[in-house]
Structure formats: C-alpha cells, structure tokens
Structure 1
Amino acid sequence: MAVGRILSLSALALAVHAAAWAAPSEPLEVRIGLADALTGPLANFGKDDENGARMAIDELNARGVSIGGRKARFVLLAEDDASEPRMATSVAQKFVDAKVNAVIGHETSGTSIPASKIYFDAGIPQITTSATSPQYTEQGFNTTFRTVSNDKQLGRALGRYAGKVLGLKRVALIDDHTAYGQGLASEFVKGFKESGGNIVAREATNDKAAEFGPILTRIRALRPEMIFFGGMTPVAAPMLRQMKALGMGQLRFMGGDGICTDQMLTLAQGAMAEGQVLCAGSGGVDEAHGAALARWRADYRKRFGIDSLIYSPYVYDSVMALAAAMEKAGSSTPAQYRPVLASNVHKGVTGPIAFDQRGDIRDGTLTLYTFRNGQRAMLGVIR
C-alpha cells in the first residue's frame, strides 16, 4: 500500500514537472492570400495593395488576436497574377492547395471573375477591392465579396447626381456597345429618371470607333444639356474633339471610371473645355471618415516612404474585416466565419464595411472628378 502510494506520488510529481516544462500551445496560423498584379503595367497598384495588406497583418499580430481561445498568427501569402486571367486561375488553385483561410483579390474584373469559381468550389471567401464588374457578384457564389461600388451602383449614382445636384432635365446617351458601356449607361438612365430627368436620345457606337459625326449631329439637333457616355477613354477623347468641331465644345460630358484617366488630357488634344467633363471612380472616403484615413495614410508614408495609392486602404480594411469575422465566429475555418463576414459591420478607415446579399458593399462611395488647368481634379465624394 505504501509502495503504491509512493509510486503514485512519484508519477504525479513527474506529471507536474513535465507540465511545467511543456511548450506552450502552438498559435493558430491564419493564411491570407493576396492575389494581385505584382508585375506588368498595373504593378504599382499591386505593390500598393500588398503594402496595405502587410500593414493590416503586422497590426493584427502586434495586437495579439485570439480566435476561439487560441492566439492567432496571421501570415500573408502574396502571389502575382500579372493581371492575366490564366495566371489568375493558377494563383487561385495555388491558394486552394496552400489551404489559405481567405483571399484578397484579384485586382481586375477579368482576373477576379475566373478565379472566383475556384474559390467558390473550395469554399474560400474572396474579397476584391478594385474589380467593379457586376458579373463578379451576380454568379450566385456565397464566397464573393467586394469593398467598392460596382459599375451598376456607379452608373445609377451618376444619374442621381446629374438630376438632383446638377439639376439637369435633358440628357443624351451614347454607349460603346460593350457589356461595360451598355450596363453603365442603362444604370445611369435609372438614376436619372428617378430624379425626374428625361433621356432625349440613346445612341450606340463601338469600342474601336473613331467617327461620330452622324451620331453627334442627331444629338445636337435635340439640344440636350449633357451627353452621358458609357465607354472608355480611347473612344471618348476623339468624340470630344468632334464635338468641338461641331460647335458642341461647351456641352457637358459625363462618364464612369472608363474615362476618368489622365490619358483623356493627352488624347483629347485640347478639345476639353475647363470643367466640361465629369467622371467618377469607385471608392472614396467622405468627410466623416476623412480624419481616420488621413492618419492611416500618414502611417503608410512613415512605413514605406511613399504615398499610398487608391486601393491599399480598402485592402487594409478587407484584412481587418476578415479578422473581425473570425474573432466573432471563434473560428478561422471558412465555413464557420463566412456567414459572419456576410452579416457583420466592420468600422474601417474607409468607412463601414458591410455587404448586401450578393456580397457587394452597402452604400458604397464614388469619387467625382473633372479636368481643369491641365489635370484631373477631384470634386468630391458621393454615395
């Protein structure tokens, strides 16, 4: 009896000793994939996005986030898709094989859409911060999310702005017969009519056209207050040149992000009057959130020695929104935290991050621009 008791005490002592020297439980590794154009013509935006993601990852690790009672260690896996659809699907499969917990990306609609099916099949949430095609969130995938307004939201907001803010009543439409141009123009019509406006003409060209004389002559006879164009800069700029030649050089001209480029200044060859052209791009921070974003941009510059570009704050917010959903769900497993991500509201530096039933940002913002003094100038932020 005494011997058994001694053995029991010895075993207990050994167990206590072993527990005292046991290694602490391993942290929960959370892998965030960043799929972006890190080479090629869009590489400056891709690198900016990567910087925004690294700021979020480092902040989360410094804070010591716990998920389901375990300390989490966030890891960023950045992959280059060079803005090529085929590379995007290869990157997507690579992330699936690496068992990432979430993906930020891709940068364009042309890469985000083909990759989204791969993430959906694997059940991995994907947040794009810059792809604006409505098709991305209209596929019925519960894994697709977006933190900037899509083209439909942009077109309708521009229509409301033209009617309510500018007070216009008569607008003519031209689109380039692409899915982008037609969709943008159709949504503009909805927003403009909601605001009491009237579409006096709707014309179509194509995305490689260079001659618009007949179309513009018909429109000129109807005396609209503005032309809305659904299309891209290479068509819009020569159209402006021909408008000037036809005596329409002071007529307002509006479009979406497709014409909101510095290239407009070069290709228009001096045909743009000061403030004649109005355009908008997805994203932008309103006055209520300006101070928070300014602090974030200052931190970015302090760390990287350069100014942040357009979408890196949205990448930062996306990583933070994912982490918040995982914390709330008590799990980094996609199937467990995805429903929380879909319904949660995260207070980001760009504003509230909350998604509708399709995964689009709720109440998204747009930044309005015009062209004057030989450069693109910001007018303000609208919703």
Structure 2
Amino acid sequence: MKHIYAPLALAALLLSAPALAAEQIVKIGVSGPLSGANAFAGKDDENGVRLAVEELNAQKLTLGANTLKFELVSEDDQGDPKAGVNVAQKFADAGVKFVLGPYNSGVAIPASRVYSEAGILMSTVGTNPKITQGGYSNVFRIVASDLQVGGAMASYAAKELKLKNVGVIDDRTAFGQGIATEFKRQAKTAGLTIAGHEFTTDKASDFAAILTAFKAKKVDAIFFGGYAPQGAPMARQMKQLGLNAKLLGGDTLCSPEMAKLGGDAVGDNVRCAQAGAILAKQSDGPAFQQRYRKRFNRDADVYAPSFYDQTMFIAQAIRAAKSVDTKAVAAQLRASTHQGVVGSYGYDAQGNLKKTAVTVYTFTNGALAPLASY
C-alpha cells in the first residue's frame, strides 16, 4: 500500500513547495488594415509592435515573482468600421488587455466604445478629435490630432509657401473629413482663400473632373484629406492635366507608398505634415531605423516608431503600476512620461499627447525629406 500512495505523497510535497517563477502572459493586440490599399501601413504598424515585443521579451522583465511574456495578437480590421468593431470583440473574447490601433479614425471611433466596455486599453494613431472626446479613460492617441496636423500645414502653406488660393478635397472618411475641415478652418484664419471643397472616396482612382474644375479656378495648391493610394494617382493626374499646383496633405501622404505609386509625379510638388519629430535627428532614431531594417528587410514607414514607442511605454507603465490591470496602467500612462525613439510621450486627461511636434516633409528622389518642424 505504501507504494500505491507514494506518488500521491510526492504530489502533495510538490504542491506544498514554494512555487517556481512562472511566465505571466501579456497579450498585445494590433488592429489595422492588413489587406486592401492601406495594407502597407497596417503591416508597418504591426512590425513596430512586433519589434518592441521581441525586445521586451529579450529583457525578461519581471512582475512580482513572474517573468512577463508579451504576445502579439494581430487582426485585420480592413480599415472598415464594422470589421474593426468585430476585431475589438474578438480581442475582448481572447483576453487581450492592450491594443495598438486602429490605424483609421473611422475604425477607432466606434471600436473605442467596445474597448471601453471590455476594459481594454486602446492606443491609436487615428487623428480625428472625436476619438478622445468620447470620455473613455482607456483611450490614448499616440500622435498629434487633426487640430495640430491640419493647423501646421495651414501655417506652412501661408507663411512658407505663401499660397493664396487653395482647393480642398476629402475622401469622406472620418480621417479625411476631419483633417480637411481643420486645414480649411485654419487656412482661412491665416488669410488663404478656399476655392472650393470637393469630395471623393477612399476607393476612387479618377479625379480628373475635380482637378479640371480646380485648374479653372487657378488654385496654387490642393489640400487632400485622404490616403496615399488615392494621393499618388491624384498627383499623377495633376501632372497629366498640367495643373502646376502643390499637393498638400496630412501624415497619410508622408509615406514611401506615395513615391512608389506616384513615380516621377511625386516630388517637390508634394508637401505633407506628419505628427512627431524628425526620426533621423532623434538620439535613438538612427539605431531604431537600423534595427527595424535588419529585422524586416525594409525601412520603417510613417507610424512604426510610434507603435514601437507606445508598446515600450505600456511595458514601463505595467512595471511602475506593478500590475497588468488596465486601469492602473492607464493611470501610470497619464502620471508619467516616456522618452521614445521619435519623441517624448505624456498624456492629458483625455488621452491626448500634452506636447507633440509636427514636421512638414516633401519628396526628394523618391524619399521623404523633412523641411520644417512646428
């Protein structure tokens, strides 16, 4: 009988022994367009988080007696509001506590409610001001808003380019409408004349009718509230029509995809404003660029650095809070600051950055070239 109960006795002994250090899984979700025209941006954002997760796991951070293990869970929200809400629910069901994304404002606005109800901390690059006006304590915008980006481009257009007559086009998305409206408002304040405000969609490819109308109005520039997959063919068609005007836009035009799709039609004629300082001029910027290129065999696009930085900030906040509870982590994000590779992060009560730079770029030989920071 002694031999029969020996295994049970051994099991009891093991259970009573001090617990060995275990892994504590922290799931980091990424919601973005991994298919469709903006898949290049969604993949870039995902890569930024992936690089951060891999570096954090290499550090073997601890929380109490446990070693933290960060796991990346990525879902394609297709840049579509309905799909984005479904992704948010899927993350909630999977026990994801922290989400980087959505990329699109139109997805972030409805998804933020689901994340709030599920107690998930959401960090988005969506720039529409409405995202942080919902009163959700779990929502953070990790870049400048349309108020800042649109205002910087309006100021640049008036003071540096000395433009007088500008046409405005938006793609009817929450992002496009938001930034175009803000540019128009601040451009008027700066003394520019708005020749007209026209509309297209984020699926369009033919802009000839709108551009021909603006050519007849002799505009100095066109501000486009939309994304690179429409901005690039718009630049091509402006050249074909002999419309010698600047093409202005927000951060979504500050992408290598513009030059890739637009070819020789994208150069000094394009000006775009991107949230954040000039990465290459930041102390840790070049090293980040090298690590990203080595890991993914490509250069980082617009927001990979911001997604990387916020993932690192969340890890910092977890350790400071000594908890993975999202309310405690959110409180730490608001109470502290983080020096990232592309700038310093610190949030106000609404989840907006307290301070952020906006940089205006153009394109030289197919590459982004910074012109001025605000």
TM-score, normalised relative to structure 1: 0.76
The letter for the 2-side match of 1:279 is C
Which structure 2 residues correspond to residues 44-55 of structure 1 after superposition, within 5 A? Answer: 44-55=40-51
1:295 CA displacement:
0.8
Whole-Å Cα distance in 2 between the matches of residues 203 and 210 of structure 1? 15
Partner of 1:211: 209
Which structure 2 residues correspond to residues 51-70 of structure 1 after superposition, within 5 A? Answer: 51-67=47-63, 70=66
Whole-Å Cα distance in 2 between the matches of residues 262 and 323 of structure 1? 30
Matching residue within 142, 155, 158 for 1:160: 155
RMSD of equivalent CA atoms: 3.6
Partner of 2:373: 382
Whole-Å Cα distance in 1 between the matches of residues 142 and 320 of structure 2? 20
The letter for the 2-side match of 1:382 is S
Whole-Å Cα distance in 2 between the matches of residues 172 and 44 of structure 1? 30
Moved more, 84-93 or 200-209: 200-209
- Cα distance change, pair 304–20 in 1 and its aligned pair in 2 (3 A): farther
Which structure 2 residues correspond to residues 142-291 of structure 1 after superposition, within 5 A? Answer: 142-164=137-159, 166=160, 168=162, 170-176=164-170, 178=172, 180=175, 183-189=178-184, 191-192=186-187, 197-207=190-200, 210-212=208-210, 216-217=215-216, 219-220=217-218, 226-232=220-226, 233=231, 238=237, 242=241, 244=243, 249=244, 251-257=245-251, 275-286=268-279, 288-289=281-282, 291=283
- 1:192-225 per-residue CA deviation (whole Å, 9 max, x = no partner) reads 577xx312344222327643556554x44xxx8x
Whole-Å Cα distance in 1 between the matches of residues 48 and 175 of structure 2? 28
Whole-Å Cα distance in 2 between the matches of residues 214 and 38 of structure 1? 35
Whole-Å Cα distance in 1 between the matches of residues 45 and 255 of structure 2? 20
Partner of 1:353: 345
Is the CA contact (8 Å cut-off) linking 1:37 and 1:43 kept in structure 2? yes
- Cα distance change, pair 18–352 in 1 and its aligned pair in 2 (3 A): same
- 1:171-206 per-residue CA deviation (whole Å, 9 max, x = no partner) reads 444344846555434433555577xx3123442223
- Cα distance change, pair 342–202 in 1 and its aligned pair in 2 (3 A): farther
Partner of 1:135: 130
Larger radius of gyration: 1
The letter for the 1-side match of 2:120 is I
Whole-Å Cα distance in 2 between the matches of residues 80 and 67 of structure 1? 31
Q: Does 1:325 align with 2:311?
A: no
Moved more, 152-161 or 56-65: 56-65
Q: Does 1:74 align with 2:70?
A: yes
Q: How many residues align?
A: 351
1:113 CA displacement:
2.5
Is the CA contact (8 Å cut-off) linking 1:39 and 1:82 kept in structure 2? yes
Whole-Å Cα distance in 2 between the matches of residues 88 and 342 of structure 1? 26
1:167 CA displacement:
6.5
- 1:94-117 per-residue CA deviation (whole Å, 9 max, x = no partner) reads 211222221112232233223211
Partner of 1:126: 122
- Cα distance change, pair 190–382 in 1 and its aligned pair in 2 (3 A): farther
Moved more, 336-345 or 57-66: 57-66
Matching residue within 117, 137, 158 for 2:113: 117
Partner of 2:102: 106
The letter for the 2-side match of 1:161 is Y
- Cα distance change, pair 340–22 in 1 and its aligned pair in 2 (3 A): closer
Is the CA contact (8 Å cut-off) linking 2:31 and 2:99 kept in structure 1? yes
Q: Does 1:338 align with 2:330?
A: yes
The letter for the 2-side match of 1:285 is I
Is the CA contact (8 Å cut-off) linking 1:53 and 1:316 kept in structure 2? yes
- 1:227-261 per-residue CA deviation (whole Å, 9 max, x = no partner) reads 352434366654565563xxxx3x54533346556
1:322 CA displacement:
0.7
Whole-Å Cα distance in 1 between the matches of residues 314 and 323 of structure 2? 11
Q: Does 1:293 align with 2:285?
A: yes
Is the CA contact (8 Å cut-off) linking 1:325 and 1:340 kept in structure 2? yes
Is the CA contact (8 Å cut-off) linking 2:84 and 2:102 kept in structure 1? yes
- Cα distance change, pair 211–134 in 1 and its aligned pair in 2 (3 A): same
The letter for the 1-side match of 2:133 is E
Whole-Å Cα distance in 2 between the matches of residues 60 and 264 of structure 1? 32
Whole-Å Cα distance in 2 between the matches of residues 137 and 202 of structure 1? 31
- Cα distance change, pair 308–261 in 1 and its aligned pair in 2 (3 A): closer
1:267 CA displacement:
9.2
Gaps of at least 5 residues in structure 1 are 1-13
Whole-Å Cα distance in 2 between the matches of residues 144 and 241 of structure 1? 44
- Cα distance change, pair 19–181 in 1 and its aligned pair in 2 (3 A): closer
